Amino acid sequence: MKTIINYIFSIFLSIICSSLIFAQSPYFRNNPNRLYSITDFLISDYESKSSLDFIRMDSLISTSVQGTSSKFLFQYNENNKITEWLYLFNIGSGWYNSLKNNLYYDVQNNLITEINLGWSINDWDSLYRINYSYEKGMLSQSVFQSYNNNSWENSTRDNYVYDTNQNLSNTLTESWINNNWQNRWLITNYYSLQNKRDSILFQTWLNGDWQNNKKTVFYYSENQIDLDSLVAKSWNGISWIDFLKLEVVNDANHNQIEQLEKIWDFGGWVNSIKRFFSYNEANYIKSANCEIWYNNQWINGDGDIVFKNPDGFIVGFITNNISAYYSNIVSIDENENIGISDYSLSQNYPNPFNPSALIEYKIPKSNFVEIKVYDVLGKEIATLVDEYKSKGIYKAQFNTNNLPSGVYIYRMKAGSFSETKKMILMR
């Protein structure tokens, strides 16, 4: 019984301390109601070690232990900045609109505004917007506004201060009350001489002064690169009390491949949630899944999974597993992209091939793209692309696994465009 209570308590902490979360729904990058969950500080700054010119995330699909699904679809501009994300859910009879975010940039490619909309009957309704401002190229303020009675109303704002190494030092959160900005939260980051984050202090504004609330302490491996563990503590008015711990396992590429979350319970750490991550050749997360501690054993369960996509967009779900899908963009040169006027599907390279082949294709405008491989009898062998794509030049890779030598057919569909080509596998 105690283990069940511990697990419920862990989920409860995640819900009240993180971004606006509900079952099978996404974490938002910014939300005035957040206190930050422990998972907000587990997100590595993933760096691509790939020889690819550029890589970007096209979609995410999440599935719970009950089998319900939800997904993100991302759209990009010619500068490969996210201009829209669409969140959909599946209740067994198809995908349904839920939330949408439109993002706008200045000439320096700084995000200046994002507007969130919710699907209501047959139309999108405005929910909130965030306006961003910058000083000397650094984000200095974000203002969160809700949409009420056909007008935008201030809700909260974050003010950012950096140290001499351009590390985020302080975040001051204020609430709009009685037509004035009033202190709410102060978040202070502390760094080591190696420029690693040592701890984060959370304080609330109470009775005209800042009062301790929570603290997160970071511990690193001997190489001072990989996060080894962190401990979250709460202030009881006299001293700091442990309440949550996370232990991390890293691979040789400094990717977090396992996270073990524990809860402090009557003088000891008790297992709560375990997360596993796998990565693609560019060292971006390919998939993640979650287990929960129940009856003294690990079982499949729903927990909070959070990570960054390549452009820094923080995303996550309370779910059992997530799969991420990416595009390898051959060129991100704006002038070259402007010159794309027609759909095209290139001959695979090499041809004949063994064991894998690359297929280049061009998209003159945003559209849903499907590329499938068939044998000569028309039997479907593989799906290479099945995603919404922005304008650009892409490559898809076909890995043959244990297929026999022979002729295969690949077909691309995008809107009314359709083209088929042959390729030869030679063992």
Those residues with Cβ within 8 angstroms of residue 203's Cβ, 6 or more apart along the chain or in another chain? 185, 186, 187, 188, 210, 211, 212, 213
For residue 183, the model assigns a pLDDT of 97
- The β-bridge relationship of strands 321-331 and 314-319 is unpaired
Domain closes at, from 309, 331, 353: 331
Do 161 and 54 share a domain, yes or no?
Answer: yes
> Which of 68, 132, 134, 129 is closest to 102 using CA atoms?
129
Average pLDDT in the 193-199 region?
A: 86
- Considering the domain architecture, whether residues 196 and 219 belong to the same structural domain is answered as yes
Burial class (CB in 10 A: 0-12, 13-18, 19+), 383: exposed
DSSP 338-404: HT--S-EEPPPBSSSBSSEEEEEEEESS-EEEEEEEEETT--EEEEEEEEEE-SEEEEEEEE-TTPP
pLDDT of 229 over the 90 cut: yes
Model confidence at 326: pLDDT above 90: no
Query: 287 and 390: one domain?
Result: no
Q: pLDDT (tens digit, 9 = 90+) per residue, 131-165?
A: 999 998 899 999 999 999 999 999 999 999 999 98
Element (H, E) at 60: strand 54-63
Tell me, yes or no, whether 223 and 282 share the same domain.
Answer: yes
Q: Average pLDDT of 170-177?
A: 96
Last residue of a domain, which of 331, 349, 378? 331
Q: What is the DSSP string of 114-153?
A: EEEEEEETTEEEEEEEEEEEEETTEEEEEEEEEEETTEEE
How many Cα atoms sit within 13 Å of 245 on the Cβ side? Answer: 14
Judge if pTM exceeds 0.85.
Answer: no
Q: Which residue has the tokens 């109303």?
A: 153
Q: Label residue 339 by pLDDT band (50, 70, 90).
A: low
For 189-200, what is the mean pLDDT? 88
| Range in 132-136, 327-331, 387-391, 402-406 the model is least confident about | 327-331
Q: Which of 331, 351, 381 is the last residue of a domain?
A: 331
pLDDT value for 368? 83
User: What pLDDT sits at residue 211?
Assistant: 97
pLDDT at 197: 87
**Domain enclosing residue 369, as ranges:** 334-425
Residue 7: what pLDDT?
A: 33
Kindly report, residue by residue over 270-312, the tens digit of the pLDDT. Answer: 999 999 999 887 788 889 999 999 999 999 999 888 877 676 7
The structure tokens listed for 286 are 């390919």
Do 112 and 240 share a domain, yes or no?
yes
164 lies in the same domain as 267: yes
Report percent pLDDT > 70 for the chain.
84
pLDDT of residue 67: 86
Regarding whether 108 and 157 lie in a shared domain, the answer is yes
How far apart, in whole angstroms, are the C-alpha atoms of residue 19 and residue 298? Answer: 26
What is the structure's pLDDT at 330?
53
| Whole-number percent of the chain with pLDDT over 90 | 51
Mean pLDDT taken over the chain: 82
Lowest-pLDDT choice from 25-39, 85-99, 155-169, 270-284: 25-39
Local structure of 39: helix, strand or coil: helix
DSSP state of 42: -
> pLDDT grade, residue 328 (50/70/90)?
low
Instruction: State whether 351 and 306 are in the same domain.
Output: no
Q: What is the CATH number of the domain that holds 350?
A: 2.60.40.2550
Q: Do 319 and 348 fall within a single domain? A: no
**Is 193 in the same domain as 339?**
no
| Domain harbouring 310, CATH code | 2.40.128.720
Average pLDDT of the segment spanning 108-112: 88
283 pairs with which residues across the strands?
none
Judged against a pLDDT cut of 60, whether residue 86 lies above it is answered with: yes
Q: Is-contact 138 166, C-beta < 8 A?
A: yes
In terms of domains, do 61 and 38 share one? yes
Decide: residue 19, CB within 10 A, 0-12 exposed, 13-18 middle, 19+ buried.
buried
* Residue written as token pair 């442990």: 242
Q: Average pLDDT for residues 74-100, to the nearest whole number?
A: 86
Task: Tell me the C-alpha distance between 139 and 160, whole Å.
Answer: 7
pLDDT at site 187: 93
Instruction: List, for residues 205-220, the tens digit of each pLDDT value.
Output: 999 999 999 999 999 9
- Number of domains within the chain: 2
pLDDT computed for residue 207 by the predictor: 93
Same domain, 135 and 258: yes
Strands 95-105 and 321-331: unpaired
Please tell me which residue, 333 or 75, carries the higher pLDDT value.
Answer: 75
Instruction: Lowest mean pLDDT of 80-84, 267-271, 331-335, 346-350, name the range.
Output: 331-335
Range with the poorest average pLDDT among 43-47, 135-139, 388-392: 43-47
